[in-house]
Amino acid sequence: MPLFHKEEIANGVSMAIWKTEETLDELISLFAPSGEDQAILDGNKIESKKLEWLSARLALKALIPGLKYEVYKDQFGKPHLNLEGLHISISHAKGFGAAALSSVGPIGIDIEHERPQIHRIAHKFLHESEKPWAGE
């Protein structure tokens, strides 16, 4: 189980990153998708996208182990949990899935594959306090 990184960032705020090293069948077995989740997987024909989707869901599962939950999207496509008072954000990119969980308010997470273009525009989306952490 390659949980790449898991961290409590602040009280009530945590994040996890899953590094995808498993096969599609292994990820499906680890995630055990519900009927609705399986329909989402079946609707995506690109295997790499299925792997990314599953890795992000496994990152989320690592943040709330043992809890039964469902993820649904609002009219804008933002994911939400059916658990009162918990906010989530999910992201995935080329071999990694990420999830953030907050009990203190809305949260966002984004994971990107490192590209030279990202460094050129990082000043547009990184807060000053995030730049050292991001390697700038």
Domain with residue 122: its CATH number is 3.90.470.20
Q: What is the pLDDT of residues 45-62, one digit of tens each?
A: 999 999 999 999 999 999
Work out how many domains the chain is built from and give that number.
Answer: 1
Structure tokens, 105? 């308010």
| Eight-class DSSP state of 124 | G
Give the burial class of 101: count Cβ atoms within 10 A of its Cβ; 0-12 exposed, 13-18 middle, 19 or more buried.
Answer: buried
Share of the chain above pLDDT 70, in %: 97
Q: 86: left (phi > 0), else alpha (psi -120 to 50), else beta?
A: beta
Q: Give the pLDDT of residue 136.
A: 55
Distance of CA 16 to the CA centre of its chain: 7
Domain of 32, in residue numbers: 3-134
CA 105-108-110 angle, to 5 degrees, is: 165
Residue with tokens 């993820």: 71
Q: What is the pLDDT of residues 15-29, one digit of tens each?
A: 999 999 999 999 999
pLDDT band per the 50, 70, 90 thresholds, residue 1: low
